[in-house]
Amino acid sequence: MKITDIQVLPANLFLYVKVFTDEGITGVGESGAWGFLKASGDAVESFKTYLIGQDPLRIEHHWQYMYRCFHFRGSAVMGAISAIDIALWDIAGKYYGVPVYQLLGGKCRDKARTYYQVGGSTTEALINSCLEAKAKGFDAVGHLSPFLDEPRTLPYKGTYASMISDAADRVGMIREALGNEVDLCLELHRRMKPGEAIAFAQAVEKYYPMFLEDPTTPDNFDSMALIASRSNVPIATGERIHTPFEFEMLLARNAMSYVRADVCNCGGITGARKIAAIAEAHNAMLVPHNPLSPVSTAACLQVSAAIENFAILEMPDHDGIAATNRYTSEKDFNEATTFTQRDMVTWVPTLENGYALLPENPGIGVDLVPDVEKKFPFERRKILTRLHEDGSIVDQ
């Protein structure tokens, strides 16, 4: 079997890759370089010059070849490698007639625990979103920003005392509303300096959050390690880094308890498995970063099924717009839309009491509808970041 063609398919707010073979088997993957998808698509075009004519089943060899060919990486390149890698695993599963997790060693579990993405621009809206998740049967809520999901067009203003106390009090109100039957996965959006994050961790630990995600920017591993060493709340991070080596450096510093590897940006299923193995050696658990489309979810579920140290999976609303757009645009979080990701694909996960049932079809279990790129024209993401009232940049 040989690879005959590779297509880059930008659609809506996503970037897909389809790999074709001379035996009629095709595979689909998705890039997680969501801010720079066109650049990631161009990287796929470069890798295509190597892959045409190759055996698609030599997945590890192709991963190493693409990863090491130029020694220049970053999210656009790693997103391209990830999309291709997922598509190759999809082909392998279809070739052997089994879900990909069977090729990864078989299932470690029959279903995957998920957390529901919640949000709101007011305290009342955020609490109601959490209560809605509980009513739907979820026992964990995530993407839960104690600072609220305020639009990026709104200038930020606040004192240190109000930032810490208001956010901590909000977590307390959510805990009171939900009781202890629901885990709280707090998303801090990299907006705090180490000292601020340590103070916040101490203020909320009495509410027993499952973890604090990205309390500070990911650029300095030592800063994340400092926070982890001073926090009694477990730290989760990793969605903005791309290689197994970076994850190893964070884990070696005891900088996180929960690994937020993005299957569509850390090297695909191959890269995620490598990272999961490193994490297992450090007694850390995997919480796949999954803010993208059902293709990403399908790939994440293959990994989640096959590794022992899986904790919980981020589950976006596949009946709405992209989660990355909901939380980073100038529009209100609750703005209604007629768009649904369900219409772009042949499968979306079945959820039962907060668990996602595993795909059973060969490959990763999902395909794109015909002409998806025509039916759902690509939208380039607008460059928009939040400013302080004095005009300086705010990390959010």
Active site residues: 189, 289
Q: How far apart are alpha carbons 71 and 76 in whole angstroms? A: 13
Give rounded-to-5 percent helix, strand, coil for the chain. Answer: 40, 15, 45
CA 364, chain centre distance (Å): 17
- 211-244: buried (b, 16+ CB within 10 Å) or exposed (e) per residue? bbbbbbebeebebbbbbbeebebbbbbbbbbbbb
Which letter does DSSP use for residue 322 in this model?
-
- 111-128: buried (b, 16+ CB within 10 Å) or exposed (e) per residue? bbbbbbbbbbbeeebbbe
For 289, phi then psi, to 5°, come to -80, 125
Cβ pair 256, 247 in contact under 8 A = no
Cβ pair 18, 9 in contact under 8 A = yes
